[in-house]
């Protein structure tokens, strides 16, 4: 035992050092979060009326009938588009405050609350990137995100942090590792990824592919190599914690590069950029020591403190004086106990999602803790393109009959075309529309009637001749990467009298 104690101490010391975050990485992470929130709001604003008001596809009556009671939402307080626009505006102001590091903790809490509210208002359009973004914000609440490159640090730069440790820092890092590891476990439980055919099937789905992705299907050998590289990288994602120095930076850089590859090949909203920002805290001090001298002479000095100092002088200082020492001690304890409790719950939740309870027969996640997870929306599912990608492509056609007897496609606002579109992904107005409509196809729910009714309202608001009846179809087309296009099949989702 006496010989093992020094070894155990060295292991714990090394693990503690690897679960620390460089303060500069945390500052860049905060800026990235703020910019992502602004981009997310801008993209969602295009469909504000359709997705977040009572005149859209999911009015509050439908939400009340299906939503989990613990999934609270400020956005569900009103179905008026003006109220929704106001909430978007408030969220945008908080996102700017977060990006510049002004009243950082308050901005982080406010941004997280409004993001959870927004997600709970319209869950049918969410993807893995949305889940990751709200989790990153949640863990950020317990971290000093304003310690570097922030207005807050310029106001009171008495002590410059070099690194941030503790439970919250470890939780943020382990959350990202949990995402990759869980997704890898799902993929390893399938067939296509292990055969090297996963990416080939992904890029055979026209509803996802854009830009370079439209051409990658012609290179099956390259896709097979990338399939195995990606599967190996996410399976070995624990190396993000185990490696140190520039080796860690290199591995994080590999994952970042592959996510950026998704950005120019797939239409999956902000997921690639959210994943890149999630990897920033893994960039160690050695990376920043080499990077910053190279950009020190760049103008404007984005990574320096000049802009923060200017903003610190321009913005009002808000201070809270006379905080009792006992209250400060309780705050410190909460910043340790709360993230530790949720870190344990997150680990157990992912084990449950992977089916450990079914395999062992033993309860993994305590039922008593589920309300806390659901209320904070720290629930998570990382089954993106897993265990196998979809093997069926598709698009929506909504033939409708007008009062004058003519026929139109009420969804695309044009003539009825059943043939495969030249670009399937562009047949969906946005990636969130695709997520919503593919969800309607895969699940026979009352939401189909809500969507058809929305098409009637939208058409009649925009045109002089009213729509009398509309029928919504999803045109299926199985995908086989090694063969020509399969025949299509028209699946009727809903018929509705306007």
DSSP 95-138: HHHHHHTSSHHHHHHHHHHHHHHHHHH-GGG--HHHHHHHHHHH
Number of residues written out for the chain: 498
Give dist(CA 249, CA 243) in Å, integer.
9
pLDDT value of position 299: 43
Lowest mean pLDDT among 92-101, 116-125, 303-312: 303-312
pLDDT digits (tens, 9 = 90+) for 186-197: 999 999 999 999
Q: How many helices (DSSP H) and strands (DSSP E) are in the chain?
A: 23, 7
Is pLDDT above 90 for 140?
yes
Sort 215 into a burial class: Cβ within 10 Å, 0-12 / 13-18 / 19+: exposed
Is pLDDT above 50 for 301?
no
pLDDT value of position 157: 47
Question: Could you give the count of Cα atoms lying within 13 Å of 304 in the half-sphere of its Cβ?
Answer: 13
List the one residue out of 477, 438, 441, 437 whose CA is nearest residue 454: 437
Is pLDDT above 90 for 333?
no
Strand 489-497 to strand 392-397: parallel, antiparallel, or no bridges (unpaired)? Answer: unpaired
Structure-block tokens of residue 17: 């050092």
Contact call for residues 277 and 136 (beta carbons, < 8 A): yes
Higher pLDDT, 20 or 320: 20
Give dist(CA 134, CA 138) in Å, integer.
6
Sort 208 into a burial class: Cβ within 10 Å, 0-12 / 13-18 / 19+: buried
Contact call for residues 433 and 47 (beta carbons, < 8 A): yes
pLDDT digits (tens, 9 = 90+) for 47-77: 999 999 999 999 999 999 888 999 999 999 9
Of 30-34, 296-300, 354-358, 478-482, the range with the highest mean pLDDT is 30-34
Contact call for residues 276 and 119 (beta carbons, < 8 A): no
Alpha helices in 354-443 (DSSP H): 356-360, 370-376, 431-442
- pLDDT confidence bin for 120, thresholds 50/70/90: very high
The per-residue DSSP string of 126-195 comes to: --HHHHHHHHHHHHHTTS-TTSSSSHHHHHTTTS--SEE-SHHHHHHHHHHHHHHHHHHHHHHTSSHHHH
- Tracing tokens 């950082």 back to the chain, one arrives at 104
Contacts for 397 with CB less than 8 Å, ≥ 6 apart: 409, 411, 412, 416, 417, 418, 472, 473, 475, 490
Give dist(CA 391, CA 442) in Å, integer.
13
Give the chain's largest Cα–Cα span: 92
Residues 426-452 as b/e (b if ≥16 CB within 10 A, e otherwise) read: ebbebbbbbbbbbebbeeeeebbebbb
Enter the DSSP assignment of 368: G
Is pLDDT above 70 for 223?
yes
């Amino acid at each position: 035992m006496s010989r093992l104690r020094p070894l155990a101490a060295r292991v714990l010391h090394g693990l503690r050092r690897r679960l620390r975050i460089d303060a500069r990485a945390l500052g860049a992470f905060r800026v990235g979060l703020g910019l992502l929130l602004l981009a997310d709001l801008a993209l969602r604003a295009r469909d504000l009326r359709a997705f977040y008001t009572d005149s859209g596809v999911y009015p509050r009556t439908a939400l009340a009938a299906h939503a989990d009671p613990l999934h609270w939402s400020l956005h569900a307080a009103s179905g008026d588009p003006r109220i929704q626009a106001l909430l978007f505006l408030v969220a945008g102001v908080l996102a700017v405050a977060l990006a510049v590091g002004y009243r950082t903790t308050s901005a982080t809490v406010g941004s997280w609350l409004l993001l959870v509210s927004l997600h709970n208002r319209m869950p049918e359009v969410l993807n893995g990137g949305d889940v990751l973004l709200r989790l990153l914000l949640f863990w950020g609440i317990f971290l000093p995100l304003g310690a570097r490159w922030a207005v807050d640090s310029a106001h009171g730069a008495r002590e410059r942090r070099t690194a941030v440790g503790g439970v919250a820092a470890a939780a943020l890092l382990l959350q990202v590792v949990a995402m990759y590891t869980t997704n890898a476990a799902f993929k390893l439980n399938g067939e296509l990824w292990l055969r090297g055919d996963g990416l080939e099937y992904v890029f055979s789905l026209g509803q996802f592919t854009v830009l370079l992705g439209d051409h990658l299907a012609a290179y099956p050998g390259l896709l097979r190599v990338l399939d195995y590289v990606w599967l190996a990288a996410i399976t070995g994602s624990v190396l993000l914690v185990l490696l140190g120095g520039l080796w860690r930076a290199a591995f994080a850089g590999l994952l970042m590069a592959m996510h950026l590859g998704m950005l120019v090949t797939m239409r999956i909203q902000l997921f690639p950029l959210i994943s890149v920002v999630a990897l920033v805290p893994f960039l160690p001090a050695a990376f920043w020591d080499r990077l910053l001298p190279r950009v020190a002479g760049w103008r404007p000095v984005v990574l320096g403190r000049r802009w923060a100092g200017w903003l610190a002088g321009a913005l009002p200082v808000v201070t809270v004086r006379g905080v009792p020492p006992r209250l400060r001690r309780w705050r410190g304890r909460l910043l340790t106990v709360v993230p530790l409790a949720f870190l344990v719950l997150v680990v157990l939740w992912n084990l449950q999602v992977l089916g450990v309870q079914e395999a062992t027969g033993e309860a993994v996640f305590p039922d008593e803790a589920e309300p806390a997870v659901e209320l904070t929306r720290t629930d998570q599912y990382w089954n993106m393109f897993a265990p196998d990608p979809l093997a069926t492509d598709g698009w929506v056609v909504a033939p409708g009959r007008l009062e004058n007897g003519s026929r139109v496609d009420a969804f695309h606002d044009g003539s009825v075309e059943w043939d495969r579109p030249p670009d399937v992904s562009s047949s969906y107005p946005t990636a969130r529309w695709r997520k919503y409509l593919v969800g309607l196809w895969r699940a026979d729910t009352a939401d189909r009637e809500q969507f058809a009714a929305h098409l009637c309202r939208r058409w009649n608001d925009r045109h002089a001749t009213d729509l009398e009846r509309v029928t919504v179809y999803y045109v299926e087309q199985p995908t086989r990467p090694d063969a020509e296009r399969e025949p299509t099949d028209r699946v009727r989702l809903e018929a509705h009298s306007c």
